Structure 1
């Protein structure tokens, strides 16, 4: 009898912990708008910004935009300057008030003069203007880049 009660209590505690984990995950998704993000491997698909070529110097901030008008679930952002001797920083601002980043070259595990990220939301990426902030974190001279 005591063994059956012990098993029943163990199952009850296990079920309660699963319910708490599910509620915690639901709360986490509610606080981040359902967005997930990560380093792009080239297989995520999705829409990106039109290619813009620009230059940046030490301490300078450049802003770029992407207008999302249609329903999409993944947004790719590829900042590429190729000179791993210089360091740029990227932040991404969604129209619904979320900030992604800051991102640095090393965030994908490789220092190669590139920050290539995806932002995903299975319920749809927010429509409107997305802002990309590129900052000259550690730049010698003038650095060319495209995003």
Structure 2
């Protein structure tokens, strides 16, 4: 119960963020991870943003795949994706798909620069994030028992 309350509290602090001021490349320095079809994927910028995004919690086991989706309908240039399971002894994999089903890559615990049971990344496109339904594939890559997570 305490773990679920802690996860719920963490969820309240997650958000879609907007980039302003310096360019993404300047802010990210050498931390830029991937570029796909106009999108740049980099560790999340914790500088704040627009709250109120709906997150879900779920469980996963070894070899299991869960699908989640989020509708993006407003004009934004940065989409934050935060997969958090908090137990870095287990390993989850995250794949992100645009509304056109373009796969933006496979991400593991270290994708955001830390091994901490969390993949917290920003998807940036100066021309705007594609409107529509984004899909997140969560895979139990190396899980002992059952792992709780939220995205």
- Judge same fold: TM > 0.5, yes or no: yes
User: Bigger shift: 44-53 or 88-97?
Assistant: 44-53
As a proportion of its length, which structure holds more helix?
1
Large movers: runs of 4+ above 3 Å: 44-49
1:48 touches 1:76 (CA, 8 Å); kept in 2? no
Per the TM alignment, residue 97 of structure 1 is displaced from its structure 2 partner at its CA by 3.6
SS at match of 2:94: strand
Which of the residues 41, 51, 58 maps onto 2:55? 51
Contact persistence 2:109–2:118 (CA under 8 A): yes
Mapped pair 1:73 → 2:74:
no
* Structure 2: stretches of 5+ with no match in the other structure: 1-34
Q: Find the aligned partners of 2:140 and 2:52 in 1 and give their Cα distance.
A: 22
Tell me the equivalent position of 1:41.
45
Aligned alpha-carbon RMSD (Å): 2.0
Query: Number of aligned pairs?
Result: 117
What TM-score, normalized to structure 2? 0.71
Contact 2:43–2:113 (CA<8 Å) still a contact in 1? Answer: no
Query: Residues 75-90 of structure 1 correspond to what in structure 2 (within 5 A)?
Result: 75-90=79-94
1:23-34 equivalences in 2 (<5 Å):
32-34=36-38
TM-score computed with the length of structure 1 as normaliser: 0.73
CA distance in 1, matches of 2:43, 2:130: 20
